[in-house]
Structure 1
Amino acid sequence: MELLSIILLKVWCCRNDWMHKGISFDVNEVVWWSKNYAEEIHRFWSSRGHGVTTEGRRREEVDDRWRPPEHGILKINCDIWMDKRRKMGYGIALRDGGGRVLWCSAQGCEANFDLDCAKAMAIYKGLCVGRNMGLVNYVLKSDSETVLKQIWTGGISKADHGGILDAI
């Protein structure tokens, strides 16, 4: 069921690319991407000590690191995924204090840049979501500690992702 859900998400994204950008897609690529994404999810949760079974491939626990924001504040979470073939994807989720997803988006693309650039792009897109929705009271969270530290300290414009940091 999990793999089917991921495949359907990818097909929907490909459909949107085809309808709005005229970009065609290969079914084999959709299946490959979906399997790889599912494996990445399982590696992620396994590396954090959460039980992932091969039969049901279900998480037995909820990630206890996620904390709701203070009352009246929304939370934007950003994350990226990059594989060895230089394909990347990023996801953004907007949640309320109860953890309910109010808005989310995921997109994939070819990655002609390094991991920190991809992380900076996801954070930038997350901030754009907040700005474009007119949000005032929100926090942005990401597991990209290096990039976040560079943003808070003024960035490193000479880095490959310096232009993105400057835009933030």
Structure 2
Amino acid sequence: MEECLPEMVPISANVKNWTVSELIANGRWEWRKLQGLVPDETLQKISGINSFCLHKQDDPVWDKVRNGFYTVKKGYMETKMKKFVVDGRAGGTFSLPNSIWGKVWKLKILPKITHFAWRCLVGAVPVKEALVRRRCCNTSVICPICNQEVETIEHTLFLCSRFQGVWFASALSWKIDCNRFQSFGLWFEKILIDDNVLNEFQLAYVAWIIWLVWKERNSVVFEAKQHDPIKVVQLAEKAVREFWKANDWMVDDDEPVTKEIGWKGWRPPDFGVLKINCDGSCSLEAAAIGLVCRDHAGGFMWGFGEVVKSNSAFLTEVLAVLKALVLSRI
């Protein structure tokens, strides 16, 4: 085993920080310095280096390709082959598997929405927390919509109290659990790979909502527009249906978004029957209830929301059910 190892030469402390340029003078090797610094076998290999190479200036090279020249295409492919390590909530990190990228690029949605989903996954969305962390600006990290929590990508798209109503009002009727929601990447990986309960149309619908929530956020922040969760839901369903019809992917206008065997979310009522979903939210400062009425195809009929007097989550939920019973008789 010892015969296979190269000869080791001890290096004194005063030469440990030498660079290659300090071993060259006037285009020639400083053999006096090299002797005793490296083994004789290595000296023979150094002597084989052409002297004209020593006169050339150093050039940066990229070690991922043979010719050393970096190109955007090669850089993209190298990045794509790696697992992304993305910032999660509360300072955590997680790794995205390579299998998720193929799923993202195959979503039947507009290319700009696909690109936005990719930006969300790699943490390239300019939310307040990301801008401050990267020292792009010196401002507050608090969400400009609710003015309560740090604005991360997860908060903006799901956890903000102003946007949770979008998911609840959607045909999926998702109620976001703020305590269990960890990160956008883990959530997206779960619905794309792990759960396998959403069909292609439902995945497109979810992606469109994500895109429109971000656009709604920007309209509120930069254009001072009034937030309207019902409008976001209606635009999402209209847009995804029109896009699918234009590509001959969908033939039935009455096809409900939630029509899928094994779907564990909102279930449509019988034909000719309306269904009311209600929910309540309570904090130390205030309490509010919300109701959404939909038909058998998942079509939005009407919505209702108001601030109520309540000091517990249970009482708030009861008030929401009571209001649903009252409005169902109108």
Question: Under a length normalisation based on structure 1, what TM-score does the superposition of the two structures give?
Answer: 0.45
Higher strand share: 1
Q: Answer 1 or 2: higher relative contact order, Cα 8 Å, separation at least 6.
A: 1
